[in-house]
């Protein structure tokens, strides 16, 4: 059941305007053409929203016999919002990210026309389609651990006219058969940087990944060395599953003032330090250093050592990842 073409044109144009108003393309307006061309609704034939009655989730889909619900589905598909696309035992395991955040990440990836890109986390395939539109199918590889996810991503991409490489495998292992890569973009949260990625990168490659609740932009020197700072943008993604992933840290934060726990930057510090600091020590550091923003933090990888830092990788504030 095909949606109304006029409505598709209307809602897609509205999404593009909304992303533009967010300032996401200020540094690379060429991405606008990709968002104008790639039909997001083909990548989210169904998704889940919070149910208005009784809690849980309500499924919206493009083949719903009710025309009103089909319209809700289409308008939601082009909303500047993340969409829950796959649940397992009530837990979210895959989603389509907020389009304006995707646009910011693609701009920060800083691609050149001949770059080869590896995406970790195929999701619906929408991000891979945007990359393929800009760079060409042969320059894009997307990897996911779940064969159901890769199969549906492959179908969505083909329906939209794109055929990048879609690989089923552990994203932590990368995809060595398609290496080397000039850029790696990650759409799931890390707790550390898998070393195998660095070995698959060309010298000078850029890795953009969610870590803690931020986005780290690493420059790769060689298979043993990478370093970079966090961007100012907050980012919340489903955790990486597979080889090097681990559950997010749970810790006791009782006794901390509510104003600190409600501060998103303080919670970023708690996540980033990963238990290296007692929560009260973290609070004292945060206040002593003037409540530092994300851009003051960074990550270094040198051989088998990997650490986060504040201001200086050789400074007094460093924490192993």
Nearest Cα residue to 310 out of 285, 274, 283, 281? 285
Number of neighbouring beta carbons within 10 Å of residue 204: 10
Pairing type for strands 165-168 and 297-302 reads unpaired
Which residues, including other chains, have CB under 8 Å from residue 280's CB and lie 6 or more apart? 255, 256
Residues forming a β-bridge with 211: 190, 214
- Whole-number Å distance between alpha carbons of 41 and 122: 16
- Whole-number Å distance between alpha carbons of 134 and 129: 9
Pairing type for strands 165-168 and 181-186 reads unpaired
**Helix, strand counts (H, E) of the chain:** 10, 14
Residue with tokens 């929560």: 279
Number of neighbouring beta carbons within 10 Å of residue 115: 19
Nearest Cα residue to 62 out of 20, 7, 132, 102? 7
Residue of 22, 94, 95, 96 marked catalytic: 94
Which residues, including other chains, have CB under 8 Å from residue 136's CB and lie 6 or more apart? none
Q: How far is CA 186 from the centre of its chain?
A: 5
Residues forming a β-bridge with 190: 211
Burial class for 29, CB neighbours closer than 10 Å (0-12, 13-18, 19+):
exposed
94 is catalytic: yes
Q: How far is CA 228 from the centre of its chain?
A: 17
Catalytic residues: 94
């Amino acid at each position: 059941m095909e949606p109304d073409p006029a409505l598709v044109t209307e809602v897609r144009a509205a999404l593009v305007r909304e992303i533009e108003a967010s300032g996401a393309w200020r540094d690379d307006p060429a991405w606008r053409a990709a968002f104008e061309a790639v039909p997001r609704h083909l990548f989210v034939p169904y998704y889940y929203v919070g149910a208005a009655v009784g809690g849980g989730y309500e499924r919206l889909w493009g083949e719903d016999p009710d025309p009103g619900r089909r319209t809700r589905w289409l308008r939601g598909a082009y909303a500047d919002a993340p969409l829950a696309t796959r649940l397992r035992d009530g837990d979210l395991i895959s989603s389509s990210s907020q389009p304006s955040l995707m646009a910011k990440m693609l701009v920060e990836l800083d691609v050149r026309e001949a770059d080869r890109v590896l995406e970790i986390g195929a999701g619906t395939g929408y991000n891979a389609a945007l990359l393929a539109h800009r760079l060409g199918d042969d320059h894009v590889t997307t990897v996911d651990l779940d064969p159901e996810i890769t199969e549906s991503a492959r179908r969505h991409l083909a329906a939209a006219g794109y055929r990048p490489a879609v690989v089923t495998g552990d994203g932590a292992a990368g995809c060595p058969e398609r290496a080397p890569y000039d850029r790696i973009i990650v759409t799931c949260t890390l707790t550390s940087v898998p070393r195998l990625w660095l070995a698959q990168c060309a010298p000078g490659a850029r890795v953009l990944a969610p870590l803690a609740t931020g986005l780290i932009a690493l420059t790769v020197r060689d298979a043993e060395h990478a370093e970079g700072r966090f961007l100012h943008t907050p980012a919340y993604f489903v955790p990486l599953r597979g080889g090097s992933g681990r559950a997010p840290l749970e810790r006791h934060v009782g006794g901390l003032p509510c104003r600190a726990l409600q501060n998103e930057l303080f919670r970023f510090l708690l996540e980033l330090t990963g238990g290296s600091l007692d929560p009260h020590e973290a609070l004292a550091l945060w206040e002593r250093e003037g409540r530092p923003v994300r851009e003051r933090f960074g990550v270094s990888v040198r051989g088998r050592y990997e650490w986060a830092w504040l201001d200086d990788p050789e400074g007094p504030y460093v924490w192993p990842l």
